[in-house]
Structure 1
Amino acid sequence: MNAYIVAGYRSAVGKAPKGVFRFTRPDDLAADVIKHLMAQVPNLDPARVDDLIVGNAVPEAEQGMQMARYISLLSLGKSVAGVTVNRYCGSGVETIAMAAAKISAGMADCIVAGGTESMSMVPTTGWKMALNYGLASHHPDYYIGMGLTAEQVAQQFNIGREEQDIFSYNSHQKALAAQAAGKFDAEIVPITVKETYFDEATGKKKNKEYTVTKDEGPRADTSVEALAKLRPVFSMGGSITAGNSSQTSDGAAFVIVMSERMVNELGLKPIARMMAYASAGVEPRIMGIGPVAAIPIALKQAGLKQDDIDIIELNEAFAAQSLAVIKELGLDMSKINPNGGAIALGHALGSTGGRLTVQVLNELRRQNKKYGMVTACVGGGQGVAGIYELL
């Protein structure tokens, strides 16, 4: 049984920890996106949604308490269950694959899937990082920090500082051009933010309200020269800087996945179908090379060759790992991240796979192309890749 994506939307991506969504809970942000998503399919009764699958990389504090269930209560109703899934940076696309698999197996007809993350409220390692010391004592490289893995990739695959900075600059330029052309406008859900702040001039608390419709990360004032002046942040004499790394971010993105039977019953025109999804493990110390292992598996599942893919959304965790993946697989740079990537737009961990999915489907439609791929490296030494066919 085929599983189809019938709608997909995302929030803008806010900068963490001091950006537009710094006081917005991730469950509230997700619920706002889902309510807008459901409104675009008015003949779909929320009670007919079989499940909500939410990706999240650090499910604790504001993201804990089995957050997906509370998101369903905020957006879909008591009858819709919810499950929170963690494959770290690959969580958002993992949930879409899970939804497609359940529907293809006849276990559901309609699932809302995607992800949400507030890196403003919950830091990357959580509030209390607790290693397995037995494992760590024998294999300290298994717990190596993400920035250091990028340094390892840069060294092992000979990725220089200058090409990292040029790649990062180009990410910003593409994102700025996409914003100027209004390419993201139709996919971003306007989110109303309410804040209470202390007015030092009057000594009183005041309230303000504003609507967020634009990704906060792209910088018009950056340049290759400015990026070159930044110091390495993870290793003395290294090449990984804040400027050639992805931004910490807040965001949410979701799609509706539906069976062919329900699509026909409701008279809907599906957008796309998920053809393949793969995950693979690699050495944790070179985590960023993960897509090199996952992409060939997904291509084999789909019965496609690398050249058949029209657009690739490669998550830019770091410029070094992105370039290493591109070089190792011989990917066509002209097909990769046509509207910029996480270095410019931001990387709200658990939501990124959903954002990349929404973006690749919209870009396929704009370019009148057929096949799109979403791929990311994943903390701990993994890679994921999903392939979509635009219908």
Structure 2
Amino acid sequence: MEKAAFRQKILLDHLRPSASSQENSNLQASVCLAGDSAAYARSAPFGDDVVIVAAYRTAQCKSKRGGFKDTFPEDLLAPVLKALIDKTKLDPREVGDIVVGTVLAPGSQRASECRMAAFYAGYPETVPVRTVNRQCSSGLQAVADVAAAIKAGFYDIGIGAGLESMTANSMAWDGSINPRASTNTQAQDCLLPMGITSENVAHRFGVTRQEQDQAAVESHRRAAAATAAGKFKDEIIPVDTKIVDPKTGAEKRVTISVDDGIRPSTSLADLAKLKPVFKKDGTTTAGNSSQVSDGAGAVLLMRRSVALQKGLPIFGVFRSFVAVGVDPAVMGVGPAVAIPAAVKAAGLELNDIDLFEINEAFGSQFVYCRNKLGLDPEKVNVNGGAMAIGHPLGATGARCVATLLHEMKRQGKDCRFGVISMCIGTGMGAAAVFERGDGVDPLNNARKIGASNLLSKDAL
């Protein structure tokens, strides 16, 4: 009897709170740190973390000649905003804020267009809208801003979105340049054309033309295969719009639901024929660079307890976000710095990440970042990237969230953690870590472990 009582005492001691909170006599289960990354732990109580319940995008179309060349920007954003409430049956009055990443349009004009899009989508006047611009990471920044606001308690439900019509708004410098820039090298490098920074990366880090072209071929191959297999159907919201014949002015009603920049037949031989665009003896071409595109995306985030109360599925869990600064002359290296920082912030290690979406701004920087971090190519951009799908600047981050989470859902228990990252003009990088939503519970096991009845359900 005494031995039984002693064993019971030992067991209860294991279940007691830490010494810092022993005045609380309630028994608590300690955090389970089994798994490949013992450091992994949530930074918020289980019911209080931020989850994604839906993420959608439009198709990405070639600017000025693709499916959205005659579509107003707000008519790109409205369908994805509407899809969030239609598919989840959420009362739009409950949305605390809509944050839209966008880059090229004049700020006040685009802010007005985004507010108009919310009305077109059926949101009431009580729901506020704002825009955010961190260049190529603007869509991801919008998602991160909403997650941060939810964590801070500003509201429980919010939308992070992205929008860019590179048909309507081209990349151009507006106004004169401060002559002071000539006295500061880094300030001067902020003005470098993005293609020149690509050439700088290739030259400084020895990324060959063939490596860049091969990455482009693989991007098109994977994107074409994903399209043929119907992998993008769940994430793309069809957009009813018009196409205007430039010669006759005749309008034709169309429904756009497929990325139109993907070239399944792209080959190394074809790409080798293209001339460098930015430097006479360079390696950056139209074929191994991201496509100039039009598109939009939107992500619905909630406090977990609210999502559970509403009976909504937990599609993904927002784990961490980091933005970093790098040398503007080689701005494309940003993901190589941002990814390790974001992974560390989530309490993980690189080998814990099962899937990566790294924006292919240029073949040079994409190859460099992948190689620098020693990433398995079979885990990176498994359904193609921006060289094939396109890169509507402000929308890319939101597009990547939709693509990543839908792919993680398809892969199931073999895919628990995913990372999204991109380089940013003027020399920055951003990255975020997401966890597959239907594989987590209050305990903290980072990876599938061998048979054991002592681990939480998601580790088995």
TM-score by length of structure 1 reads 0.95
SS in 2 for 1:220: coil
Equivalents in 2 of 1:109, 1:130: separation in Å? 43
Identical positions, percent: 40
Aligned: 1:152 with 2:200: yes
1:249 — aligned with what?
293
1 CA distance for matches of 2:286 and 2:243? 28
SS at structure 2 position matched to 1:290: helix
CA deviation after TM superposition for structure 1 residue 24, in Å = 0.9
Q: Which residue of 2 aligns with 1:295?
A: 339
Report what 2:85 is aligned to: 38
Are 1:7 and 2:54 counterparts?
Answer: yes
CA distance in 2, matches of 1:356, 1:84: 18
Map 1:6-25 onto structure 2 (within 5 A): 6-25=53-72
2:147 to 67, 75, 100: 100
Which residue is equivalent to 2:259?
215
**Contact (CA 8 Å) 1:149, 1:285: kept in 2 or not?**
yes
What residue is the counterpart of 2:131 in the other structure? 84
Checking the alignment, whether the CA contact within 8 Å between 1:26 and 1:62 is kept in structure 2 is no
CA deviations over 1:340-388 (Å, ceiling 9, x no partner): 0000000000000011110010111111111010000000100000000
Select the residue among 148, 151, 161 that pairs with 1:114: 161
Structure 2 residue matching 1:344: 3-state secondary structure: coil
Query: Which shifted more, 260-269 or 228-237?
Result: 260-269
The Cα shift of 1:286 comes to 0.1
- Compared CA separation, residues 330 and 55, structure 1 to 2 (3 A): same
Matched, 1:143 2:191: yes
2:107 matches 1:69 = no
Q: Distance in 2 between matches of 1:198 and 1:6?
A: 41
Cα displacement (A) at 1:198: 6.6
Q: Which letter maps to 1:73? A: F
Q: CA deviation at 1:25?
A: 1.4
Counterpart code for 2:226: A
**Which segment is superposed worse, 69-78 or 13-22?**
69-78
Question: Residue 173 in 1 paired to residue 221 in 2?
Answer: yes
TM-score normalised over the length of structure 2: 0.81
Runs (5+) with no aligned partner, structure 2: 1-47, 438-460
What secondary structure is seen at the aligned counterpart in 2 of 1:186? Answer: coil
Which residue of structure 1 lines up, in the alignment, with residue 400 of structure 2? 356
Name the Cα RMSD after superposition.
1.6
Find out whether 1:376 has 2:401 as its counterpart. Answer: no
**Mean CA deviation greater in 370-379 or 256-265:** 256-265
User: Which whole-Å CA distance do the structure 2 matches of 1:129 and 1:249 have between them?
Assistant: 24
Q: Distance in 1 between matches of 2:134 and 2:175?
A: 17
| More strand, by proportion | 1
SS at match of 2:387: helix
- Deviations along 1:313-361, one digit per CA (max 9) or x if unpaired, are 0000000000111121111111000000000000000000011110010
Contact 1:251 / 1:351 at 8 angstroms: preserved in 2? yes
Look up the equivalent residue of 2:310 and give its one-letter code. L
Number of residue pairs the alignment of both structures matches: 385
Q: CA deviation at 1:270?
A: 1.2
What is the distance in 1 between the residues matched to 2:153 and 2:354? 30
Secondary structure at the counterpart of residue 343 of structure 1: coil
**Secondary structure in 2 matching 1:350:** coil
2:105 counterpart (36, 49, 59):
59
> Are the aligned partners of 1:63 and 1:122 in contact in 2 as well (CA < 8 Å)?
no
Change (3 A) 1:229 1:298: same
Structure 1 contact 289–324 (Cα < 8 Å) conserved: yes
Following TM superposition, by how much is the alpha carbon of 1:114 offset from its aligned partner in structure 2, in angstroms? 1.6
Q: Which amino acid aligns with 2:178?
A: N
Q: Distance in 1 between matches of 2:182 and 2:271?
A: 35
The answer as to whether partners of 1:66 and 1:84 remain within 8 angstroms in 2 is: no
Equivalent residue for 2:304, pick from 239, 249, 260 = 260
Equivalent residue in structure 2 for 1:346, among 365, 374, 390: 390
